[in-house]
Amino acid sequence: MFHRTGFLAALLACSSFILLGTGIAGSANTTQANTDVIQQPAPGEIHGKVTDVIDAAGYTYAEVDTGTEKVWAAAATTPLKIGDMITFTTGMPMKNFHSTSMNRDFSIVYFVDRFGTDTATPAGAPPAMASPHDKIMAAPAASHIEGIDKVADGNTIAELYADKQKLDSKTVRVRGKVTKFTAGVMGRNWIHIRDSSTRDDLTITTSDMAAVDNVIVAEGKLALDKDFGYGYVYPLIVEEASVTKE
């Protein structure tokens, strides 16, 4: 009796294992079949048709229909038109974003370095999209800037880099020429400046306004290794600065 019971138990276990294996194989085959039919978009990218375009404050805002929803993205002024097929990364989403220049609220806007267009790509296939940082890394070395000297009771950009450990968390004062200005991102304005002491630039956050080619004096707190998320890490940045145009 014992041997017969043991044999039946073993037979039942083997049958269950075979059925389980068949089920797993069937599920795997089903998954593979679905993968062959449904082409998923590349991770971290959105691809779709432009349904609305707004140019404001140096940005192009594009509403994009992905086929399942409509989303907004913004990049530096770009010649887009309704009907264009574009791709952009999802690395920097801004939820509940208010645009002061348009006096308009967005539930979410993806701020991107640039839009990828659908030219020279097969129909229905998302175009390859470079990293938002590729444009910066591929840029040629900046030319030397003349005539932007150290402000009284302040530092040059070169001195800030050289003495950054000593100046960390301290209020600093620096003069520079504006090379880039971005308004209203993460609740602040972003200014990049350069001076005659180095070819490195310095990033400043402020509530004040500026324009490219302005010469300004900025006074704010120096911060090191500031991580804003989404891959935006600054080894050196001046925050909450007051900005005076010269």
Q: In the chain, pLDDT over 70 holds for what percent of residues?
A: 70
pLDDT for 132 beyond 70: no
Amino acid identity for residue 94 in this structure? M
- Ordered by start, the domain boundaries in the chain are 45-138, 157-245
pLDDT band, very low/low/confident/very high, at 56 (cuts 50, 70, 90): confident
Better-scored residue on pLDDT, 97 or 161: 161
Amino acid identity for residue 147 in this structure? G
Q: What count of other Cβ atoms lies within 10 Å of the Cβ of residue 61? A: 21
Cα–Cα distances in Å, from 131 out to 161, 164, 195?
27, 29, 28
pLDDT band, very low/low/confident/very high, at 142 (cuts 50, 70, 90): low
Q: Please name the fold of domain 157-245.
A: OB fold (Dihydrolipoamide Acetyltransferase, E2P) (2.40.50)
Hey, which residues does 202 pair with through a beta bridge? 193
Average pLDDT over residues 107-130: 58
Note whether 45-138 and 157-245 share their fold.
yes
List of residues 6+ apart from 238 with CB closer than 8 A: 160, 172, 174, 202, 203, 204, 205, 218, 220, 221, 222, 223
Residue 15 is predicted with a pLDDT of: 42
Question: Averaging pLDDT over each range in 36-40, 72-76, 122-126, 204-208, which range is the top one?
Answer: 204-208
0.75 cut: is pTM over it? no
Pick the CATH number of 45-138 from 2.40.50.140, 2.40.50.90, 3.40.50.300, 3.90.1300.10: 2.40.50.140
Average pLDDT over residues 226-233: 70
pLDDT for 26 beyond 70: no
Average pLDDT over residues 167-195: 91
Cα–Cα distances in Å, from 168 out to 140, 197, 220, 235, 237?
30, 20, 11, 11, 10
Asked if 80 and 112 touch (Cβ cutoff 8 Å), the reply is no
CA distance 46 to 42: 8
